[in-house]
Amino acid sequence: MKYRLMRRKNPQDWEDPGKLYATPVYDGKVVQNEITVDIVNLSSLARGDVGNTINSLIDTVPKYLVMGKSVNLGELGTFRVSFTSKGVEDAKDFSVDKISGVRVVFTPSAELRRKLAKIRFEKSE
């Protein structure tokens, strides 16, 4: 994977010139159709079967997330919902409008982390 160096300032000291940090350089995007074709080539399934399965997964995962469940996809990892809220002194003062920042958190499996540990880096031009 390619990277480039970016200078980032210290937000607590604007006089400091900052330090250089590695930042990923992404080489395009893979879309669902390309993944479908790859899976078809790795299996005996038809393109429509794989596409429908991926679409069904996309439709099904949010259903479980809004139910408050985490969704474990085996060797890929686990999705779960997280959020923040404003604090209150007393429980009677809390209402759901204090909840915000809803997001989906993905935690990769140990297998995926092992595969990513093999990544090799090179500086981008």
The structure's pTM equals 0.79
In this predicted structure, what is the pLDDT of residue 14? Answer: 82
- 33-65 pLDDT, tens digit per residue, is 999 999 999 999 999 999 999 999 999 999 999
Helix (H, G, I), strand (E, B) or coil at 45: coil
Q: How many whole angstroms separate alpha carbon 105 and alpha carbon 120?
A: 25
Work out whether strand 2-8 and strand 19-25 pair parallel, antiparallel, or are unpaired.
antiparallel
Contact at 8 Å (CB) between 116 and 108?
yes
DSSP of 48-96: HHHHHHHHHHHHHHHHHHHTT--EE-TTSEEEEEEEEE---SSGGG--G
- 99-119 pLDDT, tens digit per residue, is 999 999 999 999 999 999 999
Q: What one-letter code names the amino acid at 38?
A: D
Q: How many whole angstroms separate alpha carbon 57 and alpha carbon 92?
A: 39
